């Protein structure tokens, strides 16, 4: 079983942090300001998608290097990390919802609306920080 590539994981964490910083800027807007300019909505969707995909990339790298199986879906990635005691169940359930949301952005983009994205910006950005904390614990 190979060791995880710490640099690779830290590079992906940096991607998540950069996306979150951009999302936090958008989160400072009121709903009216957010919805008035399509660039806000498009930027938020892109940065959410990027951050979630980086989480999955980190998870899949750890799973591969530790020989924990082969996830069939993005959601499976977080279930495997939970079963390997890398993340707690409650967080795994949240991350699975994030993966489901990422799939909606990519495949059912016409079903994602401004208010839903704005709500995520207001209430759920800390979920990314939680994931980063768990991964940093694994690396240390």
Question: How many distinct structural domains can be found in the chain?
Answer: 1
CATH code for the domain in which residue 108 is found:
1.20.120.580
- Compute the chain's Rg from CA coordinates: 15
Catalytic residue flag (residue 61): no
DSSP H or E segment with residue 87: none
1 within a domain of the structure (yes/no) = no
Could you list the residue range(s) of the whole structural domain that residue 129 is in? 6-139
Secondary structure letter of residue 125 according to DSSP: T
Q: What is the DSSP string of 21-49?
A: HHHHHHHTS-HHHHHH-HHHHHHHHHHHH
pLDDT in tens, 75-121: 999 999 999 999 999 999 999 999 999 988 888 777 788 899 999 99
Q: Does the predicted model carry a pTM greater than 0.85?
A: yes
pLDDT at 48: 97
| Known catalytic membership, residue 134 | no
pLDDT for 1 equals: 52
The pLDDT, as a whole number, for residue 106 is: 86
Catalytic residue among 8, 107, 133, 134: 107
Whole-number mean pLDDT of the chain?
94
First to last CA, the chain: 18
> Are 48 and 23 in contact, with CB atoms under 8 Å apart?
yes
Which of 61, 102, 104, 134 is labelled catalytic? Answer: 102
């Amino acid at each position: 079983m190979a060791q995880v590539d710490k640099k690779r994981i830290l590079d992906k964490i940096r991607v998540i942090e950069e996306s979150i910083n951009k999302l936090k800027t958008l989160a400072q807007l009121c709903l009216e300001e957010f919805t008035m300019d399509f660039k806000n909505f498009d930027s938020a969707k892109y940065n959410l998608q990027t951050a979630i995909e980086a989480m999955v990339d980190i998870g899949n790298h750890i799973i591969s290097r530790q020989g924990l199986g082969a996830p069939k879906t993005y959601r499976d990635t977080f279930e495997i990390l939970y079963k390997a005691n890398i993340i707690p169940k409650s967080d795994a359930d949240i991350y699975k919802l994030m993966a489901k949301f990422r799939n909606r952005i990519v495949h059912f983009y016409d079903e994602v609306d401004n208010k839903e994205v704005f709500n995520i910006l207001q209430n759920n950005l800390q979920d990314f920080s939680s994931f980063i904390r768990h991964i940093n614990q694994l690396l240390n």
